[in-house]
Chain A
Amino acid sequence: MTSLNAALPAVARSRWRGLGALIGTELRVQLHELTSIATSFIVQAVFLVFVGVLAREYLSYTLVGAVVFSTFQIGQRVQNEAAWIRIDHKLHELYHASPMTPEAYFLGMSVGVLTAYSAPIVLLFGVADYLVALAAPVALLLVAVLVAEFVFTASVGYMISTWFKNMRSIWPYSTLFFNFFGVLPPVFYPLFLFPKALQPVALLLPTAGGTALVEHADGILPLPTDWVILAAMSLLVGASLAFVGAVYWARRISRER
């Protein structure tokens, strides 16, 4: 509190001030949506059942793809949550006109959503580890891929969330991304079943590329070295650019034009 003629209170400047508090806030909010969390991997589970019944030899690929895609989907939840808070609640204005930086707001919300929805990933990860017996380096690679996947998708999702003025306009994009990044490319099925000419193109997608990297490391998907580099660089560069872009965009959009 400042008295009328006193100097303004000093505010310690930190780009990440309030980050932990917002993660906690978002976690509290999301944990009230237990049904949503519990059903968040239902599509992946259905794919696993289908593949398990119809083409059991591909189950390992589907499992790895399910873990990767679950992480990708959480980024889409960030997109919807950011849009919901902005359009329906207008709470972003409380956080933007405050000591919290726009990038801390973006990151706090994203990590809060990730934490709330991480249980299905952990479960799928455990199942994958049990059935495929992931070696420690492969498990570590999978974690790294998931982190990059989340950074990419949450960043892109946050940017997209700011482009719409009503929620109804956003829903079709969620469906589009779900199919474009998850169902069509080789995520739930092996890369070698994808048209040969398009296989390197598929590796540019974070979902298909990340999945292929883990499967290659696990020895179930042989890949030429240049394709491994292509997928790894694509994921790394894509996630880095998306994050930098989201931080820039978060700052820019915190004051609308």
Chain B
Amino acid sequence: MNSDALRADSVRKIYHGRSGPDIEALSGVSLRIARGERIALLGRNGAGKTTFLRIASTLLAPTSGAVEIFGRDALADPESVRPYLAVVPQEGKPFMHLTPREQAYTYLRARGFSRETAKSRADHALDQMGLAEVADRLSITLSGGQRQRTMVATVISTEAPLMFLDEPTIGMDPFARREVWESFRELTVKGSTILLTTHYLDEAEALSQRLYIIDRGRVLAEGTADELKHRVGGTLRVSIVSGDGIAQQLSTFGPLVRDGDIVHVITGPHGLQEILSIAAHANLTATVGPVTLEEAFLHVVGRSIHDES
């Protein structure tokens, strides 16, 4: 079977408000994910990432559009594709009166795995998530990050062909996040496909082979992190705080991207010295660095990923 793992066409979702106005959460999202890919949906809070993920994972009905999973119509017959899915819901929690080991094991058993397979997979996933030491403690005694890792361990232990992970590393420390990323890479090498949502730029860049930038229910850009950065128009970013007064001069060196009162000039090595002198002449501080996904996001969306307005 050579069909895509996931194919979505013009997916729209309108939430009908009981007392307030209707809200259009998705305005025609289309995307395609090949088998074995790791794809990130990157967007601000409320961009529509979770709504899309829930529709794609058969947990929410769209208002219109089409979703195919491994070539099967996931809207007409969700039960036929569900055996191939696994989901980490946003802000999900394990059973508080089960240990991480019990949580993963019983979930695998409910999915139909044999006792032996369930045991070995649960143990392996808990090891991967760095939970071996707390694997036999009740979840109620674990930290928020450990509970989140338990949720991820439970789901990755399924090794399902298509996994949906909604903000999977939220609440985790940087070290734990890297362990989780590594386990996701391992899963796709084995053949699973992963679609995750995140608003961590470093996570999207480090983990995804391609990413979709989504805002206000629309896909605004798609590509690899490098491609998206390249589209900004340069390799270097010069950031000038309160640089609005010299923006016109700066614009001759490359595109400008605004983030609050910071003006970023996207340029190359050629104009660097001149920009720094203009900033120094205006008594403004300038910092230089490579173009990151943050500038790419600002360039595409027009607002910072941390902007919740």
Instruction: Give A residues with C-beta under 8 Å from B.
Output: 1-9, 11-13, 17-18, 21-22, 24-25, 28-29, 32-33, 88-91, 93-101, 108, 254-257
A98 and B83 contacting across the interface, CB-CB below 8 Å = yes
Complex Cα distance, B294 from A85, in Å, reads 37
Chain A residue numbers with a CB within 8 Å of B91 are 90
B61 and A25 contacting across the interface, CB-CB below 8 Å = no
B58 and A25 contacting across the interface, CB-CB below 8 Å = no
- Given A5-B2, A6-B191, 16 other A-B residues pairs in contact with their CB atoms under 8 A: A2-B191, A4-B191, A5-B1, A21-B106, A24-B106, A25-B110, A90-B89, A94-B92, A96-B59, A97-B164, A98-B111, A98-B158, A101-B79, A255-B60, A256-B54, A256-B60
A94 and B154 contacting across the interface, CB-CB below 8 Å = yes
B36 and A4 contacting across the interface, CB-CB below 8 Å = yes
Q: How far is the CB of B101 from chain A (nearest CB, A)?
A: 12
Set A28, A29, A99: member contacting B82, Cβ < 8 A: A99
B69-88 interface (Cβ within 8 A of A): 70, 78-79, 82-88
Instruction: Give B residues with C-beta under 8 Å from A.
Output: 1-2, 35-36, 54, 57-61, 70, 78-79, 82-95, 97-98, 102, 106-107, 109-112, 138, 154-155, 158-159, 161, 164, 190-192
Complex Cα distance, B59 from A82, in Å, reads 16
Chain A residue numbers with a CB within 8 Å of B92 are 89-91, 93-94
Q: A1-B190, A4-B191 are in contact. Are A93 and B97 (CB under 8 A)?
A: no
Q: A4-B35, A32-B97 are in contact. Are A97 and B85 (CB under 8 A)?
A: yes
Q: How far is the CB of A196 from chain B (nearest CB, A)?
A: 44
A96 and B93 contacting across the interface, CB-CB below 8 Å = no
B98 and A25 contacting across the interface, CB-CB below 8 Å = yes
**Residue of A whose beta carbon sits closest to that of B37:** A4
Q: Determine chain B's interface SS by DSSP, over half rule.
A: loop
Complex Cα distance, B87 from A25, in Å, reads 19
B112 and A12 contacting across the interface, CB-CB below 8 Å = yes
Q: Across chains A and B, which 5 residue pairs bring their CB atoms closest together, nearest first? A: A21-B109, A32-B97, A18-B110, A11-B83, A99-B83
Q: A28-B102, A98-B83, A255-B59 are in contact. Are A91 and B95 (CB under 8 A)?
A: yes
B111 and A99 contacting across the interface, CB-CB below 8 Å = yes
Candidate in A1, A8, A25, A90 with the most chain B CB atoms within 10 angstroms: A8
* Interface pairs (20), CB distance under 8 Å: A1-B192, A4-B36, A4-B191, A17-B112, A18-B109, A28-B97, A29-B95, A32-B97, A33-B97, A89-B92, A90-B92, A91-B93, A93-B59, A97-B58, A97-B87, A98-B83, A98-B86, A99-B82, A255-B61, A255-B78
Complex Cα distance, B87 from A56, in Å, reads 57
Candidate in B83, B98, B138, B191 with the most chain A CB atoms within 10 angstroms: B83
Chain B residue numbers with a CB within 8 Å of A3 are 190-191
B107 and A94 contacting across the interface, CB-CB below 8 Å = yes
Set A2, A6, A7, A98: member contacting B110, Cβ < 8 A: A98
**Residue of B whose beta carbon sits closest to that of A7:** B1
Chain B residue numbers with a CB within 8 Å of A254 are 58-59, 78
**Residue of A whose beta carbon sits closest to that of B75:** A255
A98 and B2 contacting across the interface, CB-CB below 8 Å = no
A29 and B83 contacting across the interface, CB-CB below 8 Å = no
B35 and A1 contacting across the interface, CB-CB below 8 Å = no
**Residue of A whose beta carbon sits closest to that of B155:** A94
Complex Cα distance, B86 from A11, in Å, reads 14
**Residue of B whose beta carbon sits closest to that of A95:** B110
Complex Cα distance, B97 from A28, in Å, reads 8
Q: How far is the CB of B63 from chain A (nearest CB, A)?
A: 10
B61 and A94 contacting across the interface, CB-CB below 8 Å = no
Chain B residue numbers with a CB within 8 Å of A1 are 159, 190-192
Chain A residue numbers with a CB within 8 Å of B154 are 94
Q: How far is the CB of B11 from chain A (nearest CB, A)?
A: 14
A97 and B59 contacting across the interface, CB-CB below 8 Å = yes
Candidate in A88, A90, A101 with the most chain B CB atoms within 10 angstroms: A90
Set B98, B110, B159, B190: member contacting A28, Cβ < 8 A: B98
Set B58, B87, B111: member contacting A18, Cβ < 8 A: B111
**Residue of A whose beta carbon sits closest to that of B80:** A13
